Structure 1
């Protein structure tokens, strides 16, 4: 058994969660991140230098196993024979729905989630959660219920939980703690009572590189996390929350974390809202916005340049891939064209 505790927190101890050792292939000392196209859902695969893997969400159900096939293809490209950890941010269909089809094609060692479903709508969310519970029971895999402040045992990565089940970290991570001047210009919105606001969000560090993935965490929860104090500090890569929808991505978050690069897992007709595109592209430190799809809502005026879009109008299935070094430098590659842009260490 191993336990990894990271020095993210400035003043409080974080909880350790444990998992078993296992041999893995290596990745030549780099962190690889695959942004799989699940067409408006999420499936983001992290492969650490040790070869250990973390998949965040599994896309949609149905579609003739489309999303599971694409995730498995990315795993094979990374040299994986299993997914070590599958983290489910929340129980909406575009995040948890693909789990049964995925586990039928590739083994999963450990499942991570925020605990029970809270969106009791007697509809699709409850169905997705029930199907996920059946997978947990059938596979007998290890299961972690994560809480804010927990560190996750991904070899080669420091991963801290910053949001889960509607709760948030109470103390800043290392590098955070600054007064957030952007709270004043960011409107206050009503509480979101869906599973979105209960998203399991994580901050991942690889050497000097910081990557933020908050799932579909909503505007109201962003304000709790970021105001009056920016608890996260500055981020290198922001996995744009909620597929770029306007219900998330407030100035209180985006302007304060000052991402170098934002990567948006939107679909052509899902996510990529104009207000979000404007907020991201106008933030002062941004060097580039990358998108999985051309946003039909955004149109030519608000989308990023064509070479930074994996799937232009009428196309699908292409991914974006990040390859990062321990010094904080990284590059992003568009699989549809091979176009690559490198971002040197700060």
Structure 2
């Protein structure tokens, strides 16, 4: 049994500021959680297909698609302008139905694109924390959930769900964090055979301490680094407990926050954790056969070795060629130039000459467009 509230009722709860005890909201989820036993997880490699985890490049934000046996789960979808990018990527992967959608917490760089996603696909279960945010973007998301007659399932630590022959367990949030939205992040561990992936939104050190203390396993081969590599997350105790071989950081190139922070990178180097970053590699795909995890196409670019001029971080900060990264560009159909969405020149394009194209830099050049000299897409 899991806890569910309708989008309309959920919205009323938040906007009115009324705390409803989960005890009174218990209802059938329609999805049978698995037992979560280790022997069950080990037995789930029999189907012979791989678990695929796509860390989608949405700039300064988060979005992760997880697929097993034709079952799909999406965790976050970046800012609102990344919604079309995520929708396009999911369609390329053959997604028609999302069995699960998780909005980790109400910040726009995580839930902004979910409205477009929920409108574009059939959705089974939506998991979001019981914490509101007084923004129009958040209210639009709740309205969209209600319009599609969907319900919100509140995350309960320890609950385990099936995703094909893989499974995932809710780890967080563990208590009321007041107005600290990052700490309300839904945290999960995805298990397939002997491999595990740990994804905890923007959980900061306070929430990490609670996950360490709640007794649930945090051990993972791959850690999706919380809060884009900020020093407010990735505490020593949390990283020690997770003990990952790989750390994936989702952040925007040359972002205003300086993510990932030097302290975080130094900790990963100290523990010999291989780091992969979307600002350097674009979308990153991890593949698990139940016994090992590989990153096709990445090669040795994940190795934690110092680049020239970046000895302090111990991790290369040189971005590889991003011409093959698919994303949304703003094009001027008159001048035949293309821009990044936040480019100042893009803002001045007349509506009649303005269009959006999703593709790679090479593809747009092949279509006859010229990159902007200001934003240098």
Same fold per superposition (TM over 0.5):
yes
Match of 1:238 among 194, 211, 223: 223
What does 1:193-342 correspond to in 2, within 5 Å? 193-226=179-212, 231-268=216-253, 269=255, 270=257, 271-284=259-272, 286=273, 288-293=274-279, 309-310=280-281, 318-327=282-291, 329-333=292-296, 338-340=297-299
Match of 1:137 among 146, 153, 156: 146
Give the CA deviation at 1:246. 1.1
Give the CA deviation at 1:93. 0.5
CA separation in 2, counterparts of 1:73 and 1:28? 28
1:203–1:254 distance in 2 versus 1, CA, 3 Å: same
| Count of aligned residue pairs for this structure pair | 263
CA separation in 2, counterparts of 1:71 and 1:292? 14
Structure 2 unaligned segments of length 5 or more: list them: 1-29, 40-46, 303-377
- Runs of 4+ in structure 1 off by over 4 angstroms are none
Give the CA deviation at 1:129. 2.4
Give the CA deviation at 1:51. 0.6
What does 1:186-197 correspond to in 2, within 5 Å? 193-197=179-183
Aligned residues of 1:331 and 1:342 also touching (Cα < 8 A): no
Aligned residues of 2:97 and 2:123 also touching (Cα < 8 A): yes
- Whichever structure has more helix as a proportion of its residues is 2
Give the CA deviation at 1:154. 2.4
Q: 1:60 matched to which residue of 2?
A: 79
Q: Please give the per-residue CA displacement for 1:120-173, whole angstroms capped at 9, x wherever unaligned.
A: xx5xxx333212210111111243222111112422222110102636xxxxxx
1:32 is aligned to 2:58: no
Q: 1:4 matched to which residue of 2?
A: 33
Give the CA deviation at 1:53. 0.3
Aligned residues of 1:165 and 1:199 also touching (Cα < 8 A): no
Structure 1 unaligned segments of length 5 or more: list them: 11-26, 168-190, 294-308, 311-317
Q: Which moved more, 1:78-87 or 1:88-97?
A: 78-87
Helix, strand or coil for the counterpart of 2:140?
Answer: helix
Match of 1:147 among 128, 145, 156: 156
CA separation in 2, counterparts of 1:133 and 1:44? 21
CA separation in 2, counterparts of 1:52 and 1:249? 30
Give the CA deviation at 1:325. 0.3
1:342–1:52 distance in 2 versus 1, CA, 3 Å: farther
CA separation in 1, counterparts of 2:301 and 2:219? 19
TM value normalised by structure 1:
0.69
CA separation in 2, counterparts of 1:158 and 1:114? 20
CA separation in 1, counterparts of 2:300 and 2:215? 29
1:80–1:28 distance in 2 versus 1, CA, 3 Å: farther
C-alpha RMSD of the superposition: 2.6
Give the CA deviation at 1:193. 3.6
CA separation in 1, counterparts of 2:51 and 2:94? 13
CA separation in 1, counterparts of 2:116 and 2:164? 26
Aligned residues of 1:35 and 1:265 also touching (Cα < 8 A): yes
Helix, strand or coil for the counterpart of 2:163?
Answer: coil
Task: Point out which structure has higher relative CO (alpha carbons under 8 A, 6+ apart).
Answer: 1
Q: Please give the per-residue CA displacement for 1:232-254, whole angstroms capped at 9, x wherever unaligned.
A: 35310000011111111111111
Aligned residues of 1:114 and 1:147 also touching (Cα < 8 A): no
Q: Please give the per-residue CA displacement for 1:317-336, whole angstroms capped at 9, x wherever unaligned.
A: x3111111022x12113xxx
Give the CA deviation at 1:231. 4.2
Match of 1:79 among 76, 79, 94: 94
CA separation in 1, counterparts of 2:182 and 2:52? 27
1:201–1:33 distance in 2 versus 1, CA, 3 Å: same
1:98 is aligned to 2:118: no
Instruction: Answer with 1 or 2: which has the greater Rg.
Output: 2
